[in-house]
Chain A
Amino acid sequence: DAGVIQSPRHEVTEMGQEVTLRCKPISGHNSLFWYRQTMMRGLELLIYFNNNVPIDDSGMPEDRFSAKMPNASFSTLKIQPSEPRDSAVYFCASSFELLVGTGGVANQPQHFGDGTRLSIL
């Protein structure tokens, strides 16, 4: 089975440009997560979707960041305008979340893509 697919693998662009990162989750998964990883801050959750609906975007750093999931097999993370401090590795992950009888959620393992290494000059 194909894993989570992210594109591009590397992106170098100048400050002020628009950047679009893409993610194809594993087929059948109903939750999708966007993370940012830096040496200073580790792995930070930016936003997650369940059944294509954004559930929590509290980790999105600023209005310059936006994410969409138009269907179950595709999501984008857009930065406009980009700034040097946005330089990081951005990961997309997907999983299948189960609702349990007590009303809670049993989180299944998250499957990560190989990330997009973004450099803003």
Chain B
Amino acid sequence: TQLLEQSPQFLSIQEGENLTVYCNSSSVFSSLQWYRQEPGEGPVLLVTVVTGGEVKKLKRLTFQFGDARKDSSLHITAAQPGDTGLYLCAGDGANDYKLSFGAGTTVTVRA
């Protein structure tokens, strides 16, 4: 059972469209990290959100941490083919040394 549930599992959109990926849990996290993984490579950190209600922007990517620190979302505006990849969220419970990863959302942006 995944501690973090990500939805949707797959997302295919046309270049220029917007998309939102969700990461939900019944557990509270002290912080949450978002990673992107491209084929043949390891996950690479995009952002860490720490404060409940926090919103962080990274160019066309907007990350939000829920007020209760149980959920998060990633919104991409005007998606480009370079945004294609597997997006993973990972929660930090702060009680140990490990992160809990969601199953990921595979995003495909068609040119």
Residues in chain A within 8 A of chain B (CB atoms): 4, 31, 33, 42-43, 45, 48, 50, 55-56, 91, 93, 97, 100, 104-107, 109-115
Contact = CB atoms under 8 A, between A and B. Distances in A.
Contacts of B31: 106-107
Given A91-B42, A104-B94, A105-B94, A110 B30 contact: no
Given A109-B48, A112-B44, A43 B88 contact: yes
B2 A48 contact: no
Contacts of B65: none
Interface of B, helix, strand, loop or mixed by DSSP: loop
Given A109-B45, A110-B45, A114-B40, A33 B98 contact: yes
Contacts, number: 64
B101 interface: yes
A93 B42 contact: yes
Contact of B98 (A42, A48, A100): A48
A42 B95 contact: no
Interface string B37-67: 0001111110010000000000000000000
7 contacts: A42-B2, A50-B97, A105-B96, A110-B90, A112-B42, A112-B44, A114-B40
A45 B100 CA distance: 9
B97 A55 contact: yes
